[in-house]
């Protein structure tokens, strides 16, 4: 149990998923073992990536959430989005956007404007400082392949293609309301 704890699970002598895979079939049958393994792996990978990526972003004064928001703005050439749209694109609760954008504003990375055409909506607009931060952070993340170095591109594309099936399949279309 080396330097892990704290968000960053390390490489382990005890592999939790392997252990579960060993014991699962005799207790509950083997049917769900692939699913159980994949779910475990996804959860653990997400935890690990969170730690790695946040560590990469820390020198830039960003977290993954804050970087995510900045990138969404950068990718909309106007560099601005209504909070509601930003919330939808990031897929986080509308309420979370409020505090997130407020924090970015405190650091001078975005500006908040009321829309003149409809003064209900607040516009989050990226500032020059915000663009710089996003660019620099992206260079860092690209260089370390988003914490994924060590895995081949073909494998990464395979993971992407498979997981994409979770939201492109017709499985949980909206229940016709």
Partner DNA sequence: GAAGATTGATGAATCAATCTTT
Partner DNA sequence: AAAGATTGATTCATCAATCTTC
Pick out residues in 111-170 that bind a copy of itself (CB under 8 A): 138-139, 141-142, 145-151, 153-160, 162-170
Distance CA 15, CA 96 (A): 34
- Closest C-alpha among 123, 111, 109, 112 to residue 68: 109
Q: In terms of CB distance, is 19 or 132 closer to a copy of itself?
A: 19
According to CB under 7 A, which residues from 30 to 89 bind DNA? 63, 65, 82-84, 87
172 forms part of the interface with a copy of itself (CB under 8 A): yes
Check residue 78 for interaction with a copy of itself (CB under 8 A): no
- Rounded to the nearest whole angstrom, what is the least distance from the CB of residue 92 to DNA in the complex? 5
Q: Name which of a copy of itself, DNA, none residue 174 binds, using a CB cut-off of 5 to 8 Å depending on partner kind.
A: a copy of itself
**How many of the chain's residues bind DNA (CB under 7 A)?**
27
The binder of a copy of itself chosen from 25, 42, 112, 132 (CB under 8 A): 42
Does residue 103 contact residue 173 with C-beta atoms inside 8 Å?
Answer: no
Phi, psi of 112 (to 5 degrees): -110, 120
* Tokens 């986080």, residue located: 92
Which option in a copy of itself, DNA, none does residue 132 bind, with CB closer than 5 to 8 A by kind? none
Query: Of residues 105-164, which lie at the interface with DNA (CB under 7 A)?
Result: 112, 118-122
H-type helices in 107-148, by residue range? Answer: 128-143
Provide, rounded to whole angstroms, the least separation between the CB of residue 106 and a copy of itself. Answer: 25
């Amino acid at each position: 149990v080396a330097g892990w704890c704290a968000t960053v699970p390390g490489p382990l002598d005890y592999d939790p998923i392997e252990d579960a895979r060993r014991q699962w079939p005799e207790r509950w049958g083997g049917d769900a073992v692939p699913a159980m393994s994949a779910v475990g792996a996804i959860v653990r990978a997400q935890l690990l990536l969170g730690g790695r990526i946040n560590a990469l972003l820390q020198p830039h004064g960003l977290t993954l959430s804050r970087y995510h928001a900045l990138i969404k703005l950068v990718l909309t050439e106007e560099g601005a989005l209504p909070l509601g749209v930003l919330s939808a694109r990031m897929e986080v609760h509308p309420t979370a956007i409020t505090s997130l954008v407020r924090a970015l504003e405190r650091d001078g990375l975005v500006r908040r404007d009321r829309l003149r055409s409809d003064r209900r909506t607040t516009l989050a607009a990226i500032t020059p400082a915000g663009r710089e931060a996003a660019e620099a952070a992206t260079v860092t993340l690209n260089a370390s392949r988003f914490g994924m170095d060590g895995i081949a591109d073909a494998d990464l594309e395979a993971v992407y293609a498979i997981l994409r099936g979770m939201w492109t399949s017709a499985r949980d279309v909206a229940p016709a309301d």
